Amino acid sequence: MIEVGLTGCIGSGKSTVAAALVRHGAVLLDADAIVADLQQPGSPTLEAMVAHFGPSILRPDGHLDRAAVAGIVFEDPQELAALNAIVHPAVRAEMAVRRGGLAGSEAVIVADIPLLAEAGPERRAGLAGIIVVDIDPEVAVQRLVAGRGLTAGEARSRLARQASRAERLKLADFVIDNNGTPVALEEQVARCWQWIASLEHPPASGETAG
């Protein structure tokens, strides 16, 4: 079993890259999908969130109103930290359970972790390498406006609350440039898959991949 981390800013196309790697044969551990699972009605994580933020974060059917949570935490660093303190330990525990189910196999695990750069060096533990999906921030803004219905101001505000492009690239063992066409992206993903395969035989000291 080998595991690599995958990260990128909001609007980078990271989910598209993750799906392409799955088509090549990877097993995906998607932190965002796990968060959604952990926040279902009746779950300990959702109950802890309601205890902290109040019932206004719930829709009438009892499900989480993600827009309501975003409206609270994106404007208040302390509330964002409180949310992370509730959610992140639960996500790490669930990822460990799912990872444990693959122990001893030949699986190639891609751990899709949006905030890998923000989480600190301890999150790199156990990863054979880190893939960063890179994009010009203004291109990301355009895609967020077109694809998610955000205003340009909202998109820039969310990008500003994440690690900088330079901070993310500093983590990278392999960079996928997603400023171009879908065809160019697929070609880079294919090269990335070859790089992942090479991690089973680590390069000599001083060599780099990417």
pLDDT digits (tens, 9 = 90+) for 35-50: 999 999 999 999 999 9
* 8 Å CB contact between 94 and 37: yes
Flag whether pLDDT at 206 surpasses 70: no
Residue 123 pLDDT: 65
The one-letter amino acid at 196:
I
pLDDT band at 122 (very low <50, low <70, confident <90, very high): low
The single-letter DSSP state of residue 203 is: P
Separation CA 9–CA 68 (nearest Å): 21
Separation CA 186–CA 125 (nearest Å): 28
**Pair of tokens at residue 34:** 């796990």
Residue 157 pLDDT: 87
Half-sphere exposure of 13 (CA within 13 A, CB side): 26
The one-letter amino acid at 187:
E
Q: Tell me, yes or no, if the pTM score tops 0.85.
A: no
Flag whether pLDDT at 15 surpasses 70: yes
Q: What is the CA 79 to chain-centroid distance, rounded?
A: 20
Q: What is the mean pLDDT of the chain?
A: 89
* 8 Å CB contact between 187 and 99: no
Residue 103 pLDDT: 85
Flag whether pLDDT at 71 surpasses 60: yes
Q: For the chain, where are the E strands, in sequence order?
A: 2-8, 27-30, 108-112, 129-134, 174-177
What is the average pLDDT across 14-25? 96
What is the average pLDDT across 108-122? 83
